[in-house]
């Protein structure tokens, strides 16, 4: 019988709530503040447009990288095999970790949008990042669900305790940086 792995929905729920709060705050920003951001911004209008384009490109590239490379079953499988700490985690812990990572990466897109808003004062440009964030959250939620279903069919993790990471030093051990300071070394 396979163990049921719960799909991590909590990080995505928190991300959606934060997205809603930020969206309402941006929507309710007074126009005078937007005009002030445009006139007193660090860049000229042309520079702000280019900064917006670069941020949009970075957000799209990051979204595609996480969706097509990071949140894949093969990547998770190789990470479990290579990383002993990850190999010791339970299936639910792995799924929860993937959920937090996916929701966090999607929220980076929202941060790019806020940066574009405050750099150039383009409220209309913020909505592109909002839509991108919503698409990412839906996509990553689906991907973590697929990975959670895959984890259900995997064997239980075997506890490979990491040995010899911290070995107890002998009682007369002196760290290399302090050997000359203690006077314990004879020449």
- Residue whose entry in the numeric block shows the structure tokens 């996480």: 66
Residue 163 in any domain: the answer is no
Provide the pLDDT for residue 114: 92
Residue 138 in any domain: the answer is yes
Residue 172 in any domain: the answer is no
- Long-range pairs for 161-165: beta carbons < 8 A, 24 or more residues apart: 161/88, 162/84, 162/85
SS3 180: helix
pLDDT tens per residue across span 34-78: 888 888 878 888 888 898 999 999 999 999 999 999 999 999 888
Number of domains in the chain: 1
Residue 103 in any domain: the answer is yes
- Domain span at residue 115 reads 10-158
Q: What percentage of the chain carries pLDDT values higher than 70? A: 90
pLDDT tens per residue across span 120-164: 888 888 899 999 999 999 999 999 999 999 988 888 776 665 555
Residue 148 in any domain: the answer is yes
- Whole-structure pTM value: 0.76
Residue 120 in any domain: the answer is yes
Residue 40 in any domain: the answer is yes
Residue 157, φ and ψ in degrees, nearest 5:
-65, 140
Residue 25 in any domain: the answer is yes
């Amino acid at each position: 019988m396979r163990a049921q792995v719960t799909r991590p929905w909590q990080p995505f729920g928190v991300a959606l709530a934060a997205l809603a709060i930020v969206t309402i705050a941006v929507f309710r920003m007074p126009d005078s503040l937007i005009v002030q951001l445009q006139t007193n911004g660090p860049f000229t209008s042309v520079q702000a447009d280019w900064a917006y384009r670069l941020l949009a490109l970075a957000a799209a590239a990051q979204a595609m990288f996480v969706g097509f490379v990071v949140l894949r079953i093969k990547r998770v499988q190789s990470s479990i095999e290579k990383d002993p700490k990850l190999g010791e985690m339970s299936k639910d812990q792995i799924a929860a970790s993937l959920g937090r990572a996916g929701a966090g990466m999607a929220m980076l897109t929202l941060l790019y949008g806020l940066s574009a808003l405050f750099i150039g004062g383009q409220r209309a440009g913020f909505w592109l990042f909002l839509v991108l964030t919503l698409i990412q959250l839906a996509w990553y939620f689906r991907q973590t669900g697929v990975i959670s279903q895959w984890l259900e069919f995997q064997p239980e993790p075997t506890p490979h305790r990491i040995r010899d990471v911290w070995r107890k030093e002998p009682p007369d051990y002196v760290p290399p940086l302090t050997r000359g300071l203690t006077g314990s070394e004879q020449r």
